[in-house]
Amino acid sequence: MPVSLNMRMSMPSWFDIYGLNPDANEDEAGIKRASENIKALIDQEVKNGIPSHRILLGGFSQGGALSLYTALTTQQKLAGVVALSCWLPLRKSFPQASASCPNKDMHVLQCHGDADPVVPFMFGSQTAEKMKSLVNPANITFKSYRGLPHSACPEEMVDVKRFIEKQLPAIGDE
């Protein structure tokens, strides 16, 4: 889709991005539409016999942002979220933890490179702090990677693998 920040040129994108600063306007309609699409996929998996508590959302950059937002707004109880090099979109719409949120106890692994020029490291660390006010803070893990730009690294992938193995044990181990 065309992305405003990319001179309106088309690129793979979940929603439009107007700017990369904390005060930039956000594509609220696009974020909510993309989240509803993810929720429909979750609902379909549940209909196919996958318990929602065995579904983990994850993504990089916009995908991570959308994963966090969707986990906080879905009525399905999820296994958790892997959020890489991202931020929490529409963060001001989440004033505090909601006792009725089915994912208030979910586990979140958030990873961010300290040399990220696209989604500044500060956005990632501020997101982790905001998440601690929305879900059980003991379940939020924020990992930083020295010198890592807006990409992934082998150390990060090992951390992701360990997190997934912990959150989604083999069916026979439950």
Residues designated catalytic: 61, 116, 150
Please give the backbone phi and psi of residue 52, each rounded to the nearest 5 degrees, phi first: -60, -30
Tokens 């609902």 belong to: 43
By the 10 Å C-beta count (0-12 exposed, 13-18 middle, 19+ buried), 11 is classed as exposed
Q: By the 8 A CB rule, do 144 and 154 touch?
A: no
Tokens 């969707």 belong to: 70
For residues 54 and 72, give the distance between their C-alpha atoms in angstroms, rounded to a whole number.
16
Strand 2-3 versus strand 80-84 pairing type: unpaired
Q: By the 8 A CB rule, do 65 and 86 touch?
A: yes
